[in-house]
Amino acid sequence: MMMTVSPQLRHMSAREFALLGMEDLAYVKPKKGGDVANSFAIHTADGNEVAVVADRDVAIATVRQNDLVPVSVH
């Protein structure tokens, strides 16, 4: 499958690329260590951790309740 890259993407600065998806995405990933075993962290698109919850489904529901699209990170 061939992917076409938009000319705008080719000319994005590193800062513009880092902000891509900022208003639409939140990342959910397992959190190692901490007080709660098997907890999950919610991160903004730029990598800032904004919440930690005890369950993956709760993390995804929290992201969706805030009108964002959850993306799993392993």
- Work out the pLDDT band at 56, boundaries 50, 70, 90: very high
43 within 8 A of 50, measured Cβ to Cβ: yes
- Residue 58: how many CA atoms within 13 Å on its side-chain side? 10
pLDDT given at position 55: 92
Indicate the helix (H) or strand (E) that contains 56.
Answer: helix 56-65
Two tokens, residue 54? 């005890």
Q: Which residue has the higher pLDDT, 50 or 74?
A: 50
pLDDT given at position 11: 79
pLDDT given at position 36: 60
pLDDT at 20 over 70: no
pLDDT at 3 over 60: no
Mean pLDDT within 56-68: 94
